[in-house]
Chains A and B, each alone.
Chain A
Amino acid sequence: MSDKNIIEIRDLTKIYKNGVDVLAVDGVNLDIKEGEFLAIVGPSGSGKSTLLNMIGLLDTPTSGTIRLKDVDVTKATPDERARFRNKELGFVFQYHHLIPEFSAMENVMIPLLIAGKNKDVARARAQELLDKVNLNDKLNNRPNQLSGGQNQRVAVARALANSPSVVIGDELTGNLDTKTSNLIYELLRELNRKLDQTFILVTHDMHMAEKTDRILRLVDGKIVCELKRQGDGFIESKVCDLGEDNGKIRRV
């Protein structure tokens, strides 16, 4: 992990206006360092997905700014945002959303082909990534020929395809059993260490969150607590409202 901020979020606010206004994200300020392994936790409806989708340029903030690698991406056009998503961001969702007609290999190749890489380069890169997620023997399997955990690993490989600055994962193990979830988190941890890959992961599960280096707790769209890894445990920020998670966290 370097000292360089890869993401700087200032006063980020999202208000949904569907008849009634819903303040989903409320003036969030957050810096994320290159190579960080970060978890966002919080109760349902606290704004975790909304925050993540704005960081992932899938959603636009109502106000505030997000700087990605020193570029204010909140002002980007739809096509520029598409290019950022392709080159600088990787996504893993609760469901893998792989294209069912494509093999594991072909699914991983798509972001590379969108980026304009030729097929041979894309194929080589896809093979390398599937090897990294331990699926080198399943290259030609289609999603329906793979288990949930394997598909999610293909999705991770796809997220890494263009060596993005940040990989974001929203409940990416939400659909998997504990054992498989642990394996996926260990894989992400390993990728984080080996590739210095930045990860921002939203999860309900404190056990998963504890595998990261920093945990942010979001309540009603606000960051109410920040926990930083120190050795095997975590230290809390000065002000900290851990709500129902209080006591579940190993302290230093």
Chain B
Amino acid sequence: MFELEVAKRHITSNRRGTAFTVLTVAVAVGVIIMSLGLTEGTKNQIIENTVEKNPHIVLGPKQNEGYIHLYRNIERLLSSYPGAIAVSPRLVVQGAARHKDKVEGIELVGLESDKEERLMQVQGNLLAGNFSELKFKKKYAILGVKLAEKLDARPGNDVYIYFRNNSAKVSVSGLIEKGTAKDSSLVYISLKTAQNLVGEGDVVSEIGVRMEDYTEAPVLARDLEPTTKYNVESWQEFNREISRFIGTQNRINVIFYLLIFLIAGFVVANTTIMIVRRKTKEIGMLMAIGATRSSIMEIFILESLLLGLPAGLLGILVGIGFAQAIASYPIDMSSAASGVTMLMLDLRPEFIIYALIFALLLNISSAVYPAYLASRLDPVEAIGNE
């Protein structure tokens, strides 16, 4: 392996070229690590901010059925999954509410407050009232804060709720503010009261599930659908926008990484071409003493490859450093409605592997052309004899 010997010696003797290549690749790797970490961090934050405000899985009626009839069995089945930490059956219908002369369309949600509390931590969003009271007080209702405003209803007021031809009188026991559009339509009542109003017997319209780890939800959803025949959706499906946003983000990043690859590749290739130029006579002489074309090529590819690992490692350090510096700066992104107030850094271990692979690929591919040029030199011309 004289090729390796020569390559090593080139590296150690050409400090400036080596430093230049290593720094270029390190900066490229650093930018990528930083971008990967920040993208992942932001993505996770957005997911948490939105996903954690919704059930991770929602199970709906079978096809052609309006309601889930034997929901207790399914509830038990869902609760038996090791990853499921909360299961809450709900009866959700569209109806109306009237207070004095004001009428508003509502989304009426009948629920069992203890289960729903475990699923959604509702109590934390209450401006007034006690969520657990819904379990015992059949005539209590909790209204979205904006809805209450529109109806001009205050806690303690009686409100009429309507579904088709049925109606019920409930008493406003609390107000909820979720910070979403639901605040102007939501009415929480007990499941029993809702079932009486709907008049379809002991049914629900959906069952919400919360997982220990929300990333498991899509898998479980795919599992459940064929076995139960119920319509099962995970947050991924009903939060299409997030998925789409993340997908777009990933595609943009890939383009971004390709551009970095190209730019850094050109710089490294250029440095290598300069080295080849400077070593032309030496290459000619190596050919004269019997080095084959492939050996010459090997020398220059090895040379670049040997720099890949240190460059990659340095780049990882640089990237982590920069990312942490950026992430420590609070930024105002509240207008983005994503709830992200700070850039979060989430460096997964595989990013390190990606970065190293990136550095090695970058170094190999940018050395191929210069190495090929070197291997095709004509020995007589290369040696010259001026």
Q: Is the CB of A97 within 8 A of B10?
A: no
Q: Is the CB of A86 within 8 A of B383?
A: no
| B293 and chain A: residue at smallest CB distance | A78
Q: Is the CB of A85 within 8 A of B288?
A: yes
**Whole-angstrom distance between the Cβ of A209 and the nearest chain B Cβ:** 18
Known: A53-B380, A58-B379. A111 touches B9 (CB 8 A): no
Cβ 8 A contact of B383, one of A78, A93, A162 = A93
A21 at the interface (CB under 8 A from B): no
From 25 to 39 in chain B, residues with beta carbon under 8 angstroms from any chain A beta carbon are none
Q: Is the CB of B289 within 8 A of A91?
A: yes
Chain A: how many interface residues by the 8 Å CB criterion? 33
A166 to B281, CA, bound (A): 22
Q: Is the CB of A115 within 8 A of B385?
A: no
Q: Is the CB of A78 within 8 A of B380?
A: no
A114 to B5, CA, bound (A): 11
Q: Is the CB of B13 within 8 A of A82?
A: no
Known: A59-B380, A110-B2. A171 touches B290 (CB 8 A): no
Known: A82-B290, A83-B290. A171 touches B385 (CB 8 A): yes
**Whole-angstrom distance between the Cβ of B233 and the nearest chain A Cβ:** 64
Known: A101-B12, A171-B385. A111 touches B290 (CB 8 A): yes
A170 at the interface (CB under 8 A from B): yes
Q: Is the CB of B290 within 8 A of A97?
A: no
A53 to B382, CA, bound (A): 13
Q: Is the CB of B385 within 8 A of A85?
A: no
Contact with B along A91-114 (1 / 0, CB 8 A): 101110111111000100011011
**Whole-angstrom distance between the Cβ of B312 and the nearest chain A Cβ:** 25
Cβ 8 A contact of A113, one of B2, B13, B294, B385 = B2
Chain B: how many interface residues by the 8 Å CB criterion? 26
Chain A residues with CB below 8 A from B290, complex form: 82-83, 85-87, 111, 114-115, 162
Cβ 8 A contact of B9, one of A102, A113, A114, A161 = A102
A158 at the interface (CB under 8 A from B): yes
Contact with A along B306-339 (1 / 0, CB 8 A): 0000000000000000000000000000000000
Q: Is the CB of B286 within 8 A of A56?
A: no
A148 to B20, CA, bound (A): 33
- Among the interface residues A82, A87, A102, A161, which one has the most CB atoms of the partner chain B within 10 A? A82
A38 to B284, CA, bound (A): 25
A154 to B286, CA, bound (A): 15
Chain A residues with CB below 8 A from B294, complex form: 79
Chain A residues with CB below 8 A from B293, complex form: 78-79, 82
**Whole-angstrom distance between the Cβ of A224 and the nearest chain B Cβ:** 23
**Whole-angstrom distance between the Cβ of A218 and the nearest chain B Cβ:** 16
A101 to B385, CA, bound (A): 21
Contact with B along A132-157 (1 / 0, CB 8 A): 00000000000000000000000000
B292 at the interface (CB under 8 A from A): yes
Chain A residues with CB below 8 A from B282, complex form: 97, 99-100
**Whole-angstrom distance between the Cβ of B283 and the nearest chain A Cβ:** 10
- Among the interface residues B5, B9, B288, B385, which one has the most CB atoms of the partner chain A within 10 A? B288
B254 at the interface (CB under 8 A from A): no
Cβ 8 A contact of A79, one of B12, B13, B292, B380 = B292
A87 to B289, CA, bound (A): 8
B291 at the interface (CB under 8 A from A): yes
A91 to B285, CA, bound (A): 9
B103 at the interface (CB under 8 A from A): no
Q: Is the CB of A82 within 8 A of B385?
A: no
Known: A58-B288, A78-B293, A91-B289. A49 touches B385 (CB 8 A): yes
Known: A82-B287, A101-B13. A113 touches B281 (CB 8 A): no
A167 to B86, CA, bound (A): 87
Q: Is the CB of A110 within 8 A of B289?
A: yes
Chain A residues with CB below 8 A from B281, complex form: 95, 97
Chain A residues with CB below 8 A from B13, complex form: 100-101
B258 at the interface (CB under 8 A from A): no
Chain A residues with CB below 8 A from B5, complex form: 106, 113
Chain A residues with CB below 8 A from B292, complex form: 78-79, 82-83
Chain A residues with CB below 8 A from B2, complex form: 110, 113-114
A162 to B385, CA, bound (A): 24
Known: A94-B385, A101-B10, A101-B13. A111 touches B289 (CB 8 A): yes
Chain A residues with CB below 8 A from B284, complex form: 97
Chain A residues with CB below 8 A from B12, complex form: 101
Q: Is the CB of A85 within 8 A of B9?
A: no
A98 to B288, CA, bound (A): 12
| B385 and chain A: residue at smallest CB distance | A94
B6 at the interface (CB under 8 A from A): yes
Could you show 12 A-B contacts with beta carbons less than 8 Å apart?
A53-B380, A58-B380, A78-B292, A79-B292, A79-B293, A83-B292, A93-B385, A99-B9, A101-B10, A111-B290, A114-B2, A114-B290
Instruction: Known pairs A58-B383, A79-B294, A93-B385; list 15 more (Cβ under 8 Å).
Output: A53-B380, A58-B287, A85-B290, A87-B290, A95-B281, A98-B285, A99-B6, A99-B9, A99-B285, A100-B13, A110-B6, A110-B289, A113-B5, A114-B2, A114-B295
